[in-house]
């Protein structure tokens, strides 16, 4: 875990730092901070500005300690492709890859993902340049309502990057942390297996 | 995949479906439902009806083929660009959070928002004290989850901080939140303006006499614990004002009816609202309740001069989106010794919630009587107003919740008369030709434009086929008839159940017998959209041919993953002579771009909204043929129309194109179309039937069980797109599976919603590890009265699943679960009881 | 989410200092999978100061120790344990157990220490009811819907079951843990770590870790010769859900004779329930299907089910039979 002090020192400059954010709210780093100063412990972070590398592009955002990664991505940076459904780590809709590994962005504090490579559905492909997972998914109707789709698609991308030829059981295991309310599960499994084939040149669109 | 030139190609295709084609020539001799102009003719030793509306299911190019969903609807789901209300973003958005009533029943005695108003980032707080005059917020709270206050702030967290800082004191009032509680003799009155219980009785035939005469009489009691469909998208909306113009981004199944409610609540004219709702992350019915917070959010946006968004957490959704009710059903059933049911008495108790509204608020839909022949019937229905959530459509209306009891009863009666459950159902099920009258079990039959002598008749009704084909597909002959009779620890078992619903052809399109009459009746009504999308204003649509040669479908209905645009596009394409969907475009879900219509529900979208499009397509086709005939100097009857080219049959070189005809007419040729739901006037009687066959495996040591396999059978008519239909029906099966295993709300000791606060650990939706192998069986029963033999079947089979699973578990291990939901601990308890008895 | 501040100590000393400073207002923050849910639900009992221990060096590792056992750093992710060839070779049962915890994404985030010390999942606590664990004086589980998340083996104040899978799965291996506090390092068995609802520093919790102590390491002793282990879990769904009942079992065999055993039930009591009556019964017996049935009759005789959860006991007994049969054929 990389981190450096400069991220939280921002909040600790004086006993009562007043910060103004993009959205215009004010937050006060209050008396708690001053208490620690006395004991020589750096003040805790309540608000910080972080850098996020999302699909290769660099963004900055100011957020609170309690702000989740999803809130930064979708609310602060307006990269709205990633959906949040349950907000309790129980559905997988909000999944993103951090350094290639899938995490629930609703259940990851934004501060954890600072300066790391984040991959979201926007990085997968757009209408003019669909990723095989998207193109095969369209032909197999692997998305009905589509709300869970960005989540499992990025997890599937992570899987195929690591294991280009997964078995059905491996796909099921890898995607087991994703609820599809419309229960397109059979189509999702077929899509991931066959997208792998397309990526390996063993099938074509 | 298909194999061409060595390398396999990914093509749209259904994978786990069987389509059973029925012959076009079938016995419709019973005549009911025929229009007066229809004639019956002899053919192939059977009597065949000639009433294909000019569109028989022959030589089809698009309908019946698997096509990928329309790209403009489907691709954005894959790329993260489908505009759900949750995705709508503005730089100055305010975010809302609710303070909701934590008590089943309470009165607000003190509400102080002064501290909350001073919280950082809080922009506005709405309470009963400053709610819009036309749309007050109550200080009398009748169920847990009712809105007490809404805080708008710069972030969701800051809004929550504001909610936490509101000082509110409740006077708790006596309550009855569950069926148990409200049925107690000393239950308090749950609403001051209403008696707790409302009783209705229905009776026909000689019930007492029939019980006397019956060879076998049995009684059974079943409990259903309620259920909730839970879309993935949080209940959400965004309101944005520009002066006195409101743009509203919603989640739901209707745009014009919601716009009307919103305008009324805000006290403004409807034309001041642009209502946009193109995509939903699922809806499954219960969106009607969201109208309440839509008004409040719009009001706050107006007051703050800022766009505002709300996205509810899953526990609070329980208070805003309707649920399926709790019910208790007691049957007394009589049958002959050879297995024919002669009489049934059903006493049903339903907790209809604090609102008491919603179609599910009745003591059952009684669609069970369209399923089986019950010559003597008595129903005593008690509807209880309770201090619990509003009830209403939840992935069907009054299906799973009542069919669980009904189909469990059918299984138990089959056993009582010593018959195989499939044989027993085949004996008692309604069949084509059955005349539905009050006497034969049709208490909701009312006069229809096409009824004859006050009766209607099932004709396209594949009741026998869904049972026989399903039994074949699941391998019913492997079923051990002895409950729990298989050896070993892990026991497999099979179960079956039927369902029947108001899907199927339920409306009229322009130019059809009955249409004018219903429109005349509607003209006398108040101009509203009617409840739940039926029985009110007509569905309008517009079809536009542009000089790019493409056909643009304008219609109101939002998509919820339903892919109805794709189905409707297929019908239009077929009518207009296309062989693919390549030239069809959809423009939908926006009051600025689509003509008015009620909402969609109940599997009638393709028939009603689609009917309006079809009517427009007929007009466009005729118009184009006329224009082409004039341009080419060829008689219209001599023209051929294919893939946007109209040519002379005799001389194919003599041709013109759709694009050219549009260009010659200022670039556009367009036609409106209409269809209408008969609503309160009655419903046409072409109802589909479904059957669910389930195979389960029970671990008799631990009570663990799995839904292993299913054959899910639909009396579907001509399937428009097997690929899409397969996906939809897989969803139907799994959603009903969830409703079978997870009652919501389920807490009978401490009623409320707060303890459903951990997302889908509170609502256990099936995961990829839990779903059965399923085969969809589509029985193409060729509905003669609609385009190409199609009919709606979205909710035809959905009610069968809970009963099929319950019956399969009984067959597997001998444990009969009469108290929903089906859980491992109940199976374990039953196994233990059986062991003690043995 | 409740408002929080995050400390990022870079040494164990500093972390302990911060914890000491804030008392129970502070909490150790690692994977956050349990903690963030309590913060999102704005529970009174959830901490306001998070002490992020991920900046402290050397808390995440899986390595063979000098005695042939394996040491696992408390910050090791569950997915890292599940993927560990070393663990797979020495303690294959542990891999099975890890893969039955929550979901793949959560296993990427959750740490072993966090799983061991997680809060109970009682729906009333999580829903913010003021109960013993959340500033109140009642157990709603005792009087409410206790079919899933509550103890069938009795309780004291809080009746919630201990929810974790890692602890029951570690006990058959006689695993131990290290706690570092202001006065140095303590070593406890996993059983001693999670003895069920305890009043510690004014709070009801399932474990004995004090407000200013940090769990740093789990040690698995070298695998014993002739040792067989099994883990089974009954849950409503194949992902995410906590155990309705689970069983982690280890048998030390000499030929077909059981010389020693560990029988640990999960999901039925306020702590991983080590059933010594069965262990005693099994000792010296020959492993056979008949033995499984007999063992069942000796198991969980002290059950004290609440209104809705008696079936946990029967499920657990079913698992005992299942586990013994599985190990008999292993």
Distance CA B320, CA B293 (A): 8
Checking if the pLDDT of B275 tops 80, the result is yes
Query: What are the backbone angles phi and psi of residue B282, rounded to the nearest 5°?
Result: 80, 155
pLDDT score of A107: 98
pLDDT of residue B509: 84
User: What was the pLDDT predicted at B786?
Assistant: 79
Neighbours of B389 (CB within 10 A): 31
Residue B711, Cβ density class (10 Å: 0-12 exposed, 13-18 middle, ≥19 buried): buried
* Residues on chain C touching A176 (C-beta within 8 angstroms): 103-104, 238-239
Asked if C145 and B754 come within 8 Å (Cβ–Cβ), the reply is no
Which DSSP letter does residue B428 get?
H
Residue of B nearest to A200 (CA): B7
Among A41-55, B37-51, B388-402, B559-573, name the one with the lowest average pLDDT.
B37-51
CB A148 within 8 A of CB A91: yes
CB contact under 8 A, C311 and B829: yes
Closest CA relative to residue B389, chosen from B292, B284, B309, B255:
B292
Which of C315, C317, C326 would best serve as a mutation to test chain B binding (most B beta carbons within 10 A)? C315
Q: Any chain A CB within 8 A of the CB of B766?
A: yes
Residue of A89, A120, A141 to mutate, testing the B interface (most B Cβ within 10 Å of its Cβ): A141
Q: Are C169 and C94 in contact (CB under 8 A)?
A: yes
CA distances from C251 to B395, C99, C271 (A): 49, 22, 21
Band of the pLDDT at B457, cuts 50, 70, 90? Answer: low
Binary contact (B9, A203; C-beta < 8 A)? yes
CA dihedral B575, B577, B579, B585 (to 10 degrees): -60
Q: Are B700 and B831 a contacting pair, CB within 8 Å?
A: yes
Nearest-Cα distance to chain A for C42, in Å, is 12
pLDDT digits (tens, 9 = 90+) for B757-786: 999 999 999 999 999 999 999 998 877 777
On chain B, the residues whose CB falls within 8 A of the CB of C308 are 825
Decide which of B307 and A1 is more confident.
Answer: B307
Q: What percent of chain B has pLDDT over 90?
A: 71
Packed helices B564-575 and B605-632: angle between N→C axes, nearest 10 degrees: 30
A101 interfaces chain C, CB cutoff of 8 Å? yes
Residues in chain B, total: 838
Instruction: Kindly determine whether residue A145 and residue B767, on different chains, have CB atoms separated by under 8 Å.
Output: no
Please, what is the average pLDDT of chain A? 86
B89/A179 Cβ within 8 A: no
CA distance B433 to A20: 75
C14: closest chain A residue by CA: A41
Give pLDDT tens digits along chain C (330 positions). Answer: 999 999 999 999 999 999 999 999 999 999 999 999 999 999 999 999 999 999 999 999 999 999 999 999 999 999 999 999 999 999 999 999 999 999 999 999 999 999 999 999 999 999 999 999 999 999 999 999 999 999 999 999 999 999 999 999 999 999 999 999 999 999 999 999 999 999 999 999 999 999 999 999 999 999 999 999 999 999 999 999 999 999 999 999 999 999 999 999 999 999 999 999 999 999 999 998 889 999 999 999 999 999 999 999 999 999 999 999 999 987
Residue B431 pLDDT: 79
Most C CBs within 10 A among B163, B180, B813, B824, hence the mutation to make, goes to B824
Tell me the residue ranges of DSSP E strands in B294-396. Answer: 308-311, 324-335, 341-351, 376-384
Beta strand segments in B191-256, E: 197-204, 216-227, 236-242, 245-249
Q: Which residues of B touch A110 (CB under 8 A)?
A: none
Q: Which chains touch C (3 or more CB pairs under 8 A)?
A: A, B
Token digits of residue C103: 């979901």
- For B607, the 3-state DSSP assignment is helix
Question: Is B723 within 8 Å of A141 when comparing Cβ atoms?
Answer: yes
Taking the C-alpha atoms of residue B463 and residue B779, their distance in angstroms, rounded to an integer, is 10
Q: Do B747 and C145 touch (CB under 8 A)?
A: yes
ipTM of the predicted assembly exceeds 0.90: yes
Residue B359 has pLDDT above 50, yes or no: no
Of the candidates A145, A184, A205, which has its C-beta nearest B730's C-beta? A184
pLDDT of residue B434: 62
- A134 at interface of C, judged by CB pairs closer than 8 A: no
Tally A–B CB contacts below 8 A: 239
Q: Assess A46–C contact: CB distance below 8 Å, yes or no.
A: yes
Contact of B774 with chain A, judged by CB distance below 8 Å, is answered with: yes
Q: Are B9 and A205 in contact (CB under 8 A)?
A: yes
Nearest CA in chain C to B747: C145
Q: β-strand C26-29 against C49-52: which pairing, if any?
A: parallel
Burial class (CB in 10 A: 0-12, 13-18, 19+), A38: exposed
Q: Which of B715, B175, B633, B176 is nearest to B461 (CA)?
A: B715
Q: Around Cβ B723, how many Cβ atoms within 10 Å?
A: 25
Chain C residues lying within 8 Å of A113, measured CB to CB: none
The answer to whether the CB atoms of B754 and C128 lie below 8 A apart is yes
3-state SS string for chain A: CCCCCHHHHHHHCCCCEEEECCCCCEEEECHHHHHHHHHCCCCCECEEEEEEEECCEEEEEEEECCCEHHHHHHHHCCCCCCCCCCCCCCCCCCEEEECCEEEEHHHCEHHHHCCCEEECHHHCCECCECCHHHHHHHHHCCCCCCCCHHHHHHHHHHHHHHCCCCCHHHHHHHCCCCCCCCCCHHHHHHHHHHHHHHHCCCCEC
Greater pLDDT, B232 or A33: B232
Write down how long chain C is: 330
Which residue of chain B comes nearest to C308, CA vs CA?
B825
Which residues are C28's β-sheet partners?
A: C51
Give me the mean pLDDT over the B795-807 stretch: 95
Q: By CA distance, what is A148's nearest residue in B?
A: B232
Q: Is the pLDDT of residue B222 over 60?
A: yes
Q: Do A88 and C8 touch (CB under 8 A)?
A: no
pLDDT of residue B679 exceeding 80, the answer is: no
CB contact under 8 A, A143 and B77: yes
Is pLDDT above 90 for B77?
A: yes
Instruction: Compare all CA atoms of chain A with the CA of C29 and give the residue at the minimum distance.
Output: A109
pLDDT score of B370: 75
Asked whether residue B538 carries a pLDDT value surpassing 80, the answer given is: yes
Amino acid B25: pLDDT: 52
CB contact under 8 A, A46 and C240: no
Burial class of residue B527 (count of CB atoms within 10 Å of its CB; 0-12, 13-18, 19+) = exposed
CB contact under 8 A, B704 and C145: no
Residues on chain A touching C37 (C-beta within 8 angstroms): 88-89, 107
**Residue B683 confidence (pLDDT):** 44
């Amino acid at each position: 875990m990389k981190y450096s002090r400069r991220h939280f020192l921002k909040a600790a400059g004086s006993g009562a730092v007043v910060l103004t954010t993009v959205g215009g709210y004010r937050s006060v780093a209050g008396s708690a901070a001053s208490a620690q100063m006395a004991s020589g412990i750096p003040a805790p972070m309540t608000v910080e500005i972080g850098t996020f590398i999302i699909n290769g592009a660099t963004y900055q955002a100011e957020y609170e300690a309690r702000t989740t990664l999803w809130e930064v991505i979708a609310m602060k940076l307006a990269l709205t492709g990633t959906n949040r459904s349950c907000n309790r780590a129980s559905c997988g809709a909000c999944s993103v890859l951090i350094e290639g590994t899938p995490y629930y962005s609703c259940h990851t504090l934004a501060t954890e993902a600072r300066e790391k490579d984040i991959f979201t559905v926007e990085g997968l492909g757009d209408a003019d340049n669909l990723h095989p997972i998207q193109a095969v998914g369209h032909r197999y109707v692997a998305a009905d309502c589509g709300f869970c789709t960005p989540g499992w698609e990025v997890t599937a991308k992570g899987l195929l990057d690591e294991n280009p030829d997964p078995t059905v059981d491996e796909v099921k295991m890898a995607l087991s942390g994703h609820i599809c309310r419309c229960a397109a599960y059979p189509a999702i499994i077929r899509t991931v297996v066959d997208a792998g084939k397309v990526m390996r040149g063993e099938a074509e669109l | 995949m298909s194999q061409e030139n060595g390398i396999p190609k990914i093509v749209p295709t259904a994978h786990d479906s069987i389509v059973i084609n029925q012959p076009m020539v079938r016995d419709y001799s019973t005549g009911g439902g025929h229009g007066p102009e229809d004639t019956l003719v002899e053919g192939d030793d059977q009597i065949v009806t000639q009433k294909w509306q000019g569109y028989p299911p022959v030589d089809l190019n698009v309908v019946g083929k698997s096509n990928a969903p329309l790209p403009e609807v489907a691709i954005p789901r894959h790329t993260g660009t489908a505009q759900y209300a949750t995705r709508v973003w503005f730089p100055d958005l305010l975010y809302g959070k609710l303070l909701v009533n934590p008590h089943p029943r309470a009165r607000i005695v003190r509400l102080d928002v002064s501290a909350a108003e001073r919280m950082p980032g809080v922009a506005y707080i709405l309470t009963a004290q400053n709610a819009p005059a036309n749309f007050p917020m109550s200080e009398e709270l009748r169920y847990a989850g009712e809105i007490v206050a809404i805080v708008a702030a710069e972030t969701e967290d800051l809004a929550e901080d504001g909610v936490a800082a509101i000082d509110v004191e409740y006077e708790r009032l006596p309550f009855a939140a569950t069926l148990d509680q409200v049925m107690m003799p000393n239950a308090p009155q749950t609403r001051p303006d209403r008696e707790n219980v409302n009783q209705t009785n229905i009776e026909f035939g000689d019930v007492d006499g029939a019980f006397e005469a019956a060879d076998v009489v049995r009684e059974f009691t079943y409990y259903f614990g309620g259920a909730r469909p839970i879309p993935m998208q949080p209940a959400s909306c965004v309101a944005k004002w520009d002066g006195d113009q409101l743009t509203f981004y919603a989640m739901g199944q209707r745009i014009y009816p919601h716009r009307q409610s919103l305008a009324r609540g805000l006290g403004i004219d409807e034309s001041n609202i642009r209502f946009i709702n193109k995509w939903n992350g699922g809806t499954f019915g219960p969106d009607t309740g969201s109208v309440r917070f839509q008004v409040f959010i719009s009001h706050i946006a107006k007051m703050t001069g800022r766009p505002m968004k709300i996205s509810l957490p899953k526990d609070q959704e329980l208070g805003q989106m309707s649920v399926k009710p709790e019910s208790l059903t007691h049957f007394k059933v009589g049958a002959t010794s050879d297995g024919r049911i002669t009489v049934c008495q059903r006493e049903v108790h339903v907790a209809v919630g604090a609102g008491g509204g919603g179609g599910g608020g009745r003591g059952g839909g009684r669609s069970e009587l369209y399923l089986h022949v019950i010559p003597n019937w008595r129903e005593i229905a008690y509807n209880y107003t309770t201090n619990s959530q509003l009830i209403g459509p939840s992935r069907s209306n009054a299906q799973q919740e009542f069919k669980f009891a009904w189909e469990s009863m059918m299984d138990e009666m089959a056993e009582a008369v010593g018959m195989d459950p499939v044989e027993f159902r085949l004996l008692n099920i309604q069949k084509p030709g059955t005349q539905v009258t009050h006497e034969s079990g049709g208490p909701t039959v009312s006069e229809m434009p096409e009824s004859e002598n006050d009766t209607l008749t099932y004709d396209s009704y594949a009741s026998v086929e869904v049972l026989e084909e399903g039994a074949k597909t699941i391998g019913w002959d492997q079923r051990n008839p002895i409950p729990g009779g298989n050896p070993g620890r892990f026991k497999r078992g099979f179960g079956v159940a039927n369902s029947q619903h108001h899907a199927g052809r339920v409306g009229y399109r322009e130019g059809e017998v009955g249409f004018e009459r219903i429109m005349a009746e509607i003209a006398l009504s108040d101009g509203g959209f009617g409840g739940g999308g039926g029985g009110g204003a007509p569905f309008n649509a517009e079809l536009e041919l542009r000089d790019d040669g493409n056909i643009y479908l304008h219609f109101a209905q939002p998509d919820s993953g339903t892919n109805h645009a794709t189905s409707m596009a297929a019908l239009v394409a077929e009518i207009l002579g296309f062989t693919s969907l390549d030239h069809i475009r959809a423009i939908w879900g926006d009051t600025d771009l689509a003509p008015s219509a009620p909402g969609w529900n109940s599997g009638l979208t393709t028939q009603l909204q689609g009917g309006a499009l079809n009517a427009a397509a007929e007009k466009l086709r005729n118009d184009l043929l006329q224009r082409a005939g004039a341009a080419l100097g060829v008689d219209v009857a001599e023209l051929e129309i294919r893939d946007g080219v109209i040519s002379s049959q005799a001389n194919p070189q003599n041709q013109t194109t759709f694009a050219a005809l549009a260009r010659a007419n200022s670039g556009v040729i367009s036609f409106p179309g209409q269809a209408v739901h008969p609503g309160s006037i009655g419903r046409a009687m072409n109802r589909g039937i479904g059957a669910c066959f389930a195979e389960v495996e029970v671990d008799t040591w631990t009570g663990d069980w799995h839904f292993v396999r299913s054959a899910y059978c639909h009396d579907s008519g001509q399937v428009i797109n097997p690929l899409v239909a397969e996906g939809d029906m897989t969803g139907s099966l799994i959603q009903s599976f969830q409703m079978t295993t997870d009652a919501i709300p389920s807490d009978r000791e401490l009623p409320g919603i707060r303890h459903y606060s951990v997302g889908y650990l509170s609502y256990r939706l099936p995961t990829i590890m839990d779903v059965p192998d399923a085969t969809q069986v589509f029985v193409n029963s060729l509905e003669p009265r609609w385009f190409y033999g199609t009919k709606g079947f979205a909710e035809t089979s959905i009610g069968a699943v809970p009963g099929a699973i319950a019956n399969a578990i009984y067959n597997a291990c001998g444990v009969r679960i009469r108290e929903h939901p089906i859980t491992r601990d109940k199976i374990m308890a039953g196994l233990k009881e059986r062991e003690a008895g043995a | 989410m409740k408002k929080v501040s995050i400390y990022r100590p870079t040494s164990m000393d500093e972390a302990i200092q911060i914890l000491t400073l804030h008392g129970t207002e502070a909490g150790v923050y690692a994977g956050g999978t349990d903690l963030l849910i309590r913060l999102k639900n704005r529970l009174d009992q959830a901490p306001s100061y998070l002490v992020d221990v991920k900046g402290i060096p050397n808390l995440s590792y899986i390595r063979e120790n000098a005695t042939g056992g394996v040491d696992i750093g408390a910050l090791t992710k569950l997915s890292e344990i599940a993927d560990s060839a070393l663990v797979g070779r020495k303690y294959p049962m542990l891999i099975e157990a890890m893969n039955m915890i929550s979901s793949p994404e959560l296993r990427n985030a959750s740490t072993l220490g966090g799983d061991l010390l997680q809060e109970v999942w009682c729906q009333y606590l999580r829903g913010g009811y003021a109960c013993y664990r959340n500033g109140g004086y009642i157990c709603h589980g005792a009087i409410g819907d206790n079919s899933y998340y509550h103890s069938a083996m009795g309780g004291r104040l809080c009746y919630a079951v201990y929810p974790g899978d890692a602890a029951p799965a570690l006990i058959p291996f006689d695993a131990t843990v290290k706690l570092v506090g202001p006065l140095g390092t303590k070593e406890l068995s996993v059983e001693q770590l999670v003895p069920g609802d305890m009043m510690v520093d004014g709070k009801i919790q399932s474990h004995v870790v004090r407000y200013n102590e940090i769990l740093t390491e789990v040690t698995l002793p070298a695998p014993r010769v002739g040792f067989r282990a099994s883990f089974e879990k009954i849950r409503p769904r194949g992902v995410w859900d906590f155990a309705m009942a689970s069983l982690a079992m280890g048998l030390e065999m000499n030929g077909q004779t059981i010389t020693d055993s560990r029988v640990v039930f999960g999901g039925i009591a306020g702590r991983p329930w080590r059933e010594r009556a069965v262990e005693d019964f099994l000792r010296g017996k020959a492993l056979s299907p008949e033995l499984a049935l007999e063992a069942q009759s000796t198991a969980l005789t002290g059950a004290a089910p609440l209104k809705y959860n008696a079936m946990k006991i029967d499920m657990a007994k079913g698992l005992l039979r299942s586990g013994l049969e599985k190990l008999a054929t292993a």
